[in-house]
Amino acid sequence: MDYLKEIRWSPYVVGAGIGVLSWLSFLISRKPIACSTAFAKASGMIEKMIRGDMVDSKPYYQKVKLVIDWQWMLVTGIVFGSLFSALLSGDFHLQLVPALWASRFGTGAVKRILAALLGGICLGFGARWADGCTSGHGISGTMQLALSSWISATCFFVGGIVTARLLFRF
């Protein structure tokens, strides 16, 4: 049981674990693990609370129905699974500005929150545009050997590496 209390596991153990979890997801739920559509549903649900049922008739929400589904619960599960792991190992830290960010941009919270908001907008917009994220395309799609996913995953990292270099200028 002490292993569960360790702060970090080998990335290969974690990766293999996610691989086995994918088998179970295909076998039991008949679905690949994916995350980003849940955020689109949450976004549409909030819009629906404000603007009413007409939101359901938007063409995108005809395709992606605004209901709490398997994936929505999966993303909820991630929050609590991570919390459980962090509490077990004493690695839970309330933090607003990450150390690496602070080393380049300073400890200002407002700057970090605004950047996270802007980054999140690009990330959410890009995930819908590409129809998947680092889990749906990057892990589940590439393991199925889907062309769409290999191209997307490559572009996630090309875009990410170039942008990170520009942000950190070195």
Partner 1 sequence: MSAQSLPAKEKSRISQLIQGLLIGLVFGFLLQKGGVTKYDVIAGQLLLRDFTVIKVMLSAVLVGMAGIYTMKGLGWVELYPKSGSLGMNVIGGLIFGVGFAILGYCPGTIAGAVGNGSMDALVGGVAGIMAGSGLFAALYPWLNEGVLKWGFYGKVTLPQLFKVGERKMVLIAAAAILVVLAVLEVARL
Please identify which residue in 1, 8, 52, 57 interacts with partner 1, judged by CB under 8 A: 8
Instruction: Find where tokens 């919270």 sit.
Output: 109
For position 18 contacting partner 1 by CB under 8 A, the verdict is: yes
In the region spanning residues 112 to 151, those forming contacts with partner 1, defined by CB under 8 A, are 112-151
For position 24 contacting partner 1 by CB under 8 A, the verdict is: yes
Which residue's CB is nearer to partner 1, number 106 or number 151?
151
Judge whether 44 and 66 are in contact, CB under 8 Å: yes
Please identify which residue in 1, 28, 49, 54 interacts with partner 1, judged by CB under 8 A: 28
14, two tokens: 């974690």
Please identify which residue in 1, 12, 49, 57 interacts with partner 1, judged by CB under 8 A: 12
For position 162 contacting partner 1 by CB under 8 A, the verdict is: yes
Cα separations in angstroms, 75 against 22, 35, 37, 81, 82:
15, 6, 10, 10, 11
For position 107 contacting partner 1 by CB under 8 A, the verdict is: no
Torsion sign (Cα): 57, 127, 75, 144 = positive
For position 105 contacting partner 1 by CB under 8 A, the verdict is: no
For position 50 contacting partner 1 by CB under 8 A, the verdict is: no
DSSP 134: T
| Least distance from partner 1 to the Cβ atom of residue 75, Å | 5
DSSP secondary structure letters along 28-93: IISS----HHHHHHHHHHHHHHHH-GGGGGSHHHHHS-SS--HHHHHHHHHHHHHHHHHHHHT---
For position 42 contacting partner 1 by CB under 8 A, the verdict is: yes
| Least distance from partner 1 to the Cβ atom of residue 49, Å | 13
Instruction: Draw the binding track, 62-101, toward partner 1 (x: CB under 8 A; -: no contact).
Output: --x---xxxxxxxxxxxxxxxxxxx--x-xxxxxxxxxxx
